[in-house]
Structures are given as C-alpha cells and as structure tokens.
Chains A and B, each alone.
Chain A
C-alpha cells in the first residue's frame, strides 16, 4: 500500500463550486504539505503544517484553505473554484528533521 494517498485522483468541477482534496499518510510524519504543479512553473507551495496545531501559508495560498484533521490527514479546499486553479495537486510529508519529502500520486483538477 502507498504511504501517501490522495483522493480523488481526477476531478472535473465547475467554476464557483467548493471542492476538497484529501491526503492521508501512514508514514507517521508530523509535517505535511500541499503543492500545485503547472507546466513550466515547477511545484509551488500552497500550505504546510508542521504538526496538528500548526498551519502555515505557502507562496500561493490565496483561494485555498486547509484542515489538519489528524497527524495522518491534511485536506485542501477550494472554496469557490476558478479556471486558473486547474492544475496537478500534490500532497507530501516529511519527518521532523526536514529534508526529504515523500509525495502522493497527485490529483488532477480541472475547473471549467
């Protein structure tokens, strides 16, 4: 079984809809991250959480919110989706020593 899972893997939604992307991990890591990937732009950090009570904005947090329900679960919400949020979204985890991050398989989101 995968250590970092994301649901759904693919989603098509309409402008203005609320959508939640979910991430779960079995690695026992405290730190979790959400990124979006756009062609030619690499990965950009949306939000990150260093433990259950700690939530921090990344470089592109506008239009997004997150919830850290437990050590193993970190969800990303788009309150009112817009077309330029069409992207590939990745969740990642790392242990307290920082360094290497472990990535989920990604969620491909299309906003029409």
Chain B
C-alpha cells in the first residue's frame, strides 16, 4: 500500500518570498508523483508530474519539484510567490502496478500569500 504525507496543513508566505511545500511518500514499488493545485471553488489542476528521468521537474506558474528517492520526498518550490498562488496544494502518488494504477492523495497544504 502507498501513502502520502504533507507535513504542513497551512503555510503563510509573504508576497515575492520563496516557498517550499513538503511531501513525503511511502510505497513498496516504483511510483509516479504529482502535485495538483485547487484554487478556491474550483476542481483540481495538475501543476507538475514526475514519471521518470530528470529528478527536477518544472511545472506551470513557475513551480518546480525535486524527486528524492533516498528520502522518498517530492517537495514543491517556487522562488517568488504571487497573490494568485493562494490555493490548496495536493501531493499524490501512483504506484507502477500496471493495470491497477490509482492515485493516493495527501491531505493538502493551504498556501496563503500575505501582501
């Protein structure tokens, strides 16, 4: 079974400051990793994904994440946040059990940008 831990439920950050949202996972097999964003009153939208290859993954809106297999982490970063980044962010993992792939989500991190 796989699981995802998002260590911070809420993260307040000043506008134009950097941010890191933490995500750790556990799985007995190799995995795909995802970050989704949910803006207020909207559905989930994919920010970025790691399937294979380079461990540094770039996504939309200036976000990036780094896959660290030894630490089983996939932290999300942005060097300078904007008011429009206010949203809830979900980390998710899918194991590579072909034919039975399912996403397991973390509990989410609410990012609040302070003007």
Report which A residues bind B (CB closer than 8 A): 4, 33, 40-45, 48, 50, 58, 90, 92, 94, 98-106
> Among the listed stretches B13-21, B40-48, B68-76, which one makes contact with chain A, having 4 or more residues with CB under 8 Å of it?
B40-48
Could you say which interface size class chain B belongs to? 20 to 34
> Contact mask B89-115 → A, CB, 8 Å, 1/0?
010001000110111011110000000
Task: Contact check, A99 vs B105: say whether CB atoms are below 8 A apart.
Answer: no
B34 at the interface (CB under 8 A from A): yes
Q: Does B32 contact A (CB under 8 A)?
A: yes
Residue ranges of B at the interface with A (Cβ–Cβ < 8 Å): 9, 32, 34, 36, 42-46, 49, 51, 90, 94, 98-99, 101-103, 105-108
Name A90's closest neighbour in chain B (CB-CB).
Answer: B43
Q: Across the interface, do A98 and B94 meet the contact criterion of CB distance under 8 Å?
A: yes
